[in-house]
């Protein structure tokens, strides 16, 4: 079945912080997309490429989108520069079955807000506090290979209320030293596509070099990949059964 097929992953990154800030560049010399892609390329069954904001069409031409099974999304300072036309195309692809893995500050990306229908707003704080991520649905594929919890020693805090629809499955809840909690791993079915929001990750911290974080991203990519479900049709249809006049 589908297991033999390669999953074609496109790792998208805004890729601005890394160009403007020497410290961030030192942390992610190949960009955040580079760090994520590097890990995913170690995984069997994945074909990985990257795309960034400043490429033509943000690197997301029809050809790229149509040959992408799962798109991962990191953005932060330039959400507003992503073209509405591209966002509409990404949304259509997700609804048609493409997986989408939204990372950290991607919660405020146009594409995530559009697919959720809510503000996707939250509380935040940048003091480098500790985060502990608890697995609350241990049988879910995205929790494969994890311990009961893992810690991120220094992180930006995101706190509830996270203004999203209740996820179809809640996999992780975060604890923060400063007193907040957060629904950190959230699965959504939208159209024929699957979406995973994963909280950790920040441009000034080595979070995308941490093994548990990368493990989750890899799991999420596999979970979100399309599996050849039915081609859904819409519109005016004839009856499938004889309907008696009345």
- At its nearest, how many Å lie between a copy of itself and the CB of residue 162? 7
User: What is the β-pairing status of strands 70-74 and 7-13?
Assistant: parallel
**How many whole angstroms separate alpha carbon 204 and alpha carbon 188?**
28
- At its nearest, how many Å lie between a copy of itself and the CB of residue 218? 8
The number of residues that bind a copy of itself (CB under 8 A) is: 90
Nearer to a copy of itself, 54 or 163 (CB): 163
Nearer to a copy of itself, 18 or 164 (CB): 164
How far, in Å, are 3, 150, 174 from residue 154 at the CA level?
Answer: 37, 12, 13
Tell me the DSSP string of 4-68. GSPEEEEEEE---HHHH-HHHHHH-TTHHHHHHHHHHTTSTTEEEEEEETTSGGGG--HHHHHT-
- Which range touches a copy of itself (CB under 8 A), out of 23-31, 32-40, 172-180, 198-206? 172-180
String marking each residue 78-97 x if it binds a copy of itself according to CB under 8 A: -------------x---x-x
Q: Which of 8, 130, 204, 206 binds a copy of itself (CB under 8 A)?
A: 130
How far, in Å, are 29, 171, 195, 213 from residue 220 at the CA level?
Answer: 24, 11, 9, 11
- Which range touches a copy of itself (CB under 8 A), out of 17-25, 41-49, 68-76, 80-88? 41-49
Report if residue 129 touches a copy of itself, rule: CB under 8 A. Answer: yes
Nearer to a copy of itself, 63 or 148 (CB): 148
């Amino acid at each position: 079945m589908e297991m033999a097929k390669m999953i074609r992953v496109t790792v998208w990154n805004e890729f601005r912080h890394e160009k403007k800030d020497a410290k961030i560049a030192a942390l992610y010399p190949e960009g955040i997309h580079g760090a994520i892609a590097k890990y995913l390329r170690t995984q069997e069954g994945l074909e990985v490429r990257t795309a960034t904001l400043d490429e033509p069409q943000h690197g997301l031409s029809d050809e790229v989108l149509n040959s992408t099974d799962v798109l991962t999304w990191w953005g932060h300072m330039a959400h507003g520069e992503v073209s509405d036309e591209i966002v509409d195309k990404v949304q259509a692809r997700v609804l048609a079955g493409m997986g989408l893995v939204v990372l950290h500050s991607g919660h405020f990306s146009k594409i995530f807000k559009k697919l959720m229908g809510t503000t996707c707003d939250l509380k935040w704080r940048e003091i480098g506090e500790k985060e502990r991520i608890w697995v609350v649905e241990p049988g879910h594929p995205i929790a494969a290979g994890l311990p009961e919890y893992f810690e991120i020693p220094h992180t930006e805090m995101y706190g509830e209320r996270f203004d999203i629809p209740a996820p179809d499955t809640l996999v992780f809840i975060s604890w923060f030293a400063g007193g907040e909690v957060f629904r950190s791993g959230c699965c959504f079915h939208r159209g024929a596509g699957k979406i995973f929001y994963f909280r950790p990750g920040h441009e000034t911290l080595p979070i995308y070099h941490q093994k548990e974080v990368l493990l989750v991203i890899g799991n999420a990519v596999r979970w979100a990949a399309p599996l050849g479900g039915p081609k859904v049709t819409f519109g005016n249809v004839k009856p499938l059964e004889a309907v008696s006049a009345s």
